[in-house]
Structure 1
Amino acid sequence: MHARFVRGAVRSAAVVAAVTGTLTWAPAANAQPSEPTPSASATVADTPAPDAGSVEITTKDTAGDGLPGAAFLLLNSAGQEAGHGTTDAQGKLTFPDLAPGIYRLKETASNSPLHEVVADQDVIITPGVTTRLTITDPFKAAKVLLQAKDDKTGKLLPGATVNIGTGTSTLLILTTGDKGTASGELPVSSRNMEFWVKQVKAPAGYDRYKPSKTFTAGPGAPVTVTVTNTKTATSPKPHPSDKPTSKPTGTPTPADTPGDGTGGVKPSAPDTGTADADSSSTAATAPDSDSSPPTPAGSLAHTGADATPWIAAGAGILVIAGVVTLVAVRRRTTTESEPDDNSKTN
């Protein structure tokens, strides 16, 4: 009886609920959690992430040889480290699993006493692609010390300028300072290079060193280059006794100086470098003396020295004439005395 009553009460409650529309399980429904269902979470987890990229570095020198042990640092666009490492025995290094974007690559050490590090550079990482870079570390420059010296005393000379180069290219220009030296860095592209040196300007008071010298230099090695100069030859200074004087050094004679027609001595006029026609015309208009004939126009003026041969010739003629006269007189005397001797005989 009691069981029937319970079943009837349950039926009555179900009928009332159906009629009034009230959900008796509403509190239980409101207690369900608000997180997504397991099926929604799986959908989000299955969304694929962007593909990663990588960068592969190969480090060499200018001769093409790999450089092991070179150290690199990789920074992302925010300046944060994205990786670091050193090259292997073949000079290779790889940075894997990099998100696409722009990175900054820095070489922090070359691990070689002969090589310099390269400048920083940007690297673009593309999704799913390996970016390959070849880094060429340059050789360290050779350190050159230039000296200019006096070839006799070895004194260092300032103001000497030289060009240094290889082939047809000038790589370095140096000028010695107050101490007679100059220094600079000479770029090299191999472990041993030959260079030429040519002086283009000599120190003051010296002749330019004209030969072209050669020398060998290596990466990072110091080398000294010396050029020698000879003093410029100078003309000797005139001796005080060599200076011309305005006073005559001796007394002129008539044979050396033409007369003035009064028996006095007339000094010779200095040579002014004018044409001979001027002096000849003067001599033609001013006769020398009564015994000397006038000088023909257009000829050089005659001096006493020019008349000496004529005087000697005249003296010779006079001597000959005297001899001839003496012979004639003796013959005449002999002829006149012959009749007297004949008359005495008869």
Structure 2
Amino acid sequence: MRASRRTAATIAATTLATGSLIWAPTAFAEAPDIPPGAIEITKKDPDGTLLAGAAFSLLDTLNGTKALTGKTATNGILRFENVHPGTYRLKETDSGSPIHELAPDQDVIVTPEHTVKLTVIDTFKPAELLVKKIDKKTGKPLAGAVINITSATGTGKALTLTTGKDGTATTKLPVSSRTGTAYTATETKAPTGYQLDTTPVKITAKPAEKTTATFANTKKAQPTQPPTTPPTTPPVTPPTTPPVTPTTPPAKPSTPAPSSSATTTPATVPTASAPSPPTPEGSLAHTGADSNTWILVSGGALIAAGGATLIAIRRQKKSDEEGQSAG
């Protein structure tokens, strides 16, 4: 303060003596330096594991140039020392891990003689999910299946996938743990002509890994055609054969006993053709074997009748001769 007053007095005296302001830099005391600050970065993942090898750059916000760079040590800590007070942009350039994402950039304000402590968390890289839909019998890929993906804990937003022409659909699943995050895949709509597969598929999504969920569908049964009833054909009734009425042959004529009287009237000689027996009413004409039987019976009757007549004639003649001899 005293130096400032002396400088001001010297400038005023010079001005009064000469009438003009004369610049005398040796008259000013040098301004003191502003003490620097520091930045300390602690690098972790969502599980709380400290991460080594993560690279950071401290960028000057005025011109974007790199002010400082460095990597986290085995304890997950990186310190930027002797940082001139001001505003900087902290940028992670390498996570140092194949399963971690880069943290987003952030602004850091450094003040004199103060250490800014930051905790930077690198999230896990998402898992890649491939959903496959196939025919259970043939393995043919099926399009148009709708699959719903939900977290096993019930948190987070559900994802909906629809299989394409190749029977597949892909998406990325957030992972919150190094050992993996559990999901459930459920089919909500089956491909056309197929039965819905209601069995949920369990999925464990691990950081930066690929996983597959396969659904196999069974084809719907074709509707059964009702049996066609064939037209009813009436049973064929065989022709009714009329019963054959047995034919009773005519009674054999009895031979008349010879009369003791000479005046015995000669018997009437029957005609050579015997009358045909009447055909029973309601019966059909006889054919085949029945006709032969009838002919044999009729012939026998005629022969018998003729023989009886001949015997009767001879007896009559003998009687007549004996009568004449006696007279």
Is residue 168 of structure 1 aligned with residue 154 of structure 2?
Answer: yes
Q: Is the 8 A contact 1:105 1:120 kept in 2?
A: yes
- Report 1:200-219 matches (<5 A): 200-219=188-207
Match 2:165 to one of 175, 178, 182: 178
Partner of 1:61: 45
Q: For residue 57 of structure 2, what is the amino acid of its counterpart?
A: L
Partner of 1:118: 103
Partner of 1:52: 36
Match 2:143 to one of 149, 158, 166: 158
What TM-score do the two structures reach when normalised by structure 2?
0.59
1:73 is paired with a residue whose SS is strand
Task: Output one character per residue of 1:73-115: Cα deviation in whole Å (capped at 9) or x when no partner.
Answer: 1101121111001000011111122222221111110111111
Q: For residue 66 of structure 2, what is the amino acid of its counterpart?
A: E
Is residue 187 of structure 1 aligned with residue 177 of structure 2?
Answer: no
> Alpha carbons of 1:148 and 1:219: their partners in 2 closer, same or farther (altered >3 Å)?
same
Match 1:76 to one of 56, 60, 74: 60
Distance, in Å, in 1 between the alignment partners of 2:76 and 2:223 is 67
What TM-score do the two structures reach when normalised by structure 1?
0.56
- Report 1:297-308 matches (<5 A): none
Q: Is the 8 A contact 1:172 1:186 kept in 2?
A: no
Partner of 1:93: 78
Deviation at 1:50, TM superposition (A): 2.2
1:83 is paired with a residue whose SS is strand
Distance, in Å, in 1 between the alignment partners of 2:132 and 2:42 is 42
Is residue 222 of structure 1 aligned with residue 197 of structure 2?
Answer: no
Q: For residue 168 of structure 1, what is the amino acid of its counterpart?
A: G
Is residue 143 of structure 1 aligned with residue 128 of structure 2?
Answer: yes
Q: For residue 173 of structure 2, what is the amino acid of its counterpart?
A: L
Q: For residue 66 of structure 1, what is the amino acid of its counterpart?
A: L
Q: For residue 202 of structure 2, what is the amino acid of its counterpart?
A: T
Q: For residue 218 of structure 2, what is the amino acid of its counterpart?
A: T
Distance, in Å, in 2 between the alignment partners of 1:105 and 1:222 is 32
Partner of 1:311: none
Distance, in Å, in 1 between the alignment partners of 2:25 and 2:129 is 78
Q: For residue 102 of structure 2, what is the amino acid of its counterpart?
A: V
Partner of 2:118: 133
> Alpha carbons of 1:44 and 1:134: their partners in 2 closer, same or farther (altered >3 Å)?
same
Q: Is the 8 A contact 1:171 1:186 kept in 2?
A: no
Structure that is richer in helix per residue: 1
Q: Is the 8 A contact 2:201 2:213 kept in 1?
A: no
Q: Which runs of 5+ in 2 are unaligned?
A: 1-21, 235-327
2:40 is paired with a residue whose SS is strand
Partner of 2:240: none
Deviation at 1:49, TM superposition (A): 2.1
Match 1:109 to one of 88, 94, 100: 94
Q: Is the 8 A contact 1:76 1:102 kept in 2?
A: yes
Distance, in Å, in 2 between the alignment partners of 1:212 and 1:52 is 60
Distance, in Å, in 2 between the alignment partners of 1:135 and 1:168 is 28
Structure with larger Rg: 2
1:54 is paired with a residue whose SS is strand
Task: Output one character per residue of 1:312-339: Cα deviation in whole Å (capped at 9) or x when no partner.
Answer: xxxxxxxxxxxxxxxxxxxxxxxxxxxx
Q: For residue 134 of structure 2, what is the amino acid of its counterpart?
A: K
Q: For residue 154 of structure 2, what is the amino acid of its counterpart?
A: T
Q: For residue 211 of structure 1, what is the amino acid of its counterpart?
A: T
Partner of 2:186: 198
Deviation at 1:37, TM superposition (A): 8.5
> Alpha carbons of 1:83 and 1:242: their partners in 2 closer, same or farther (altered >3 Å)?
farther
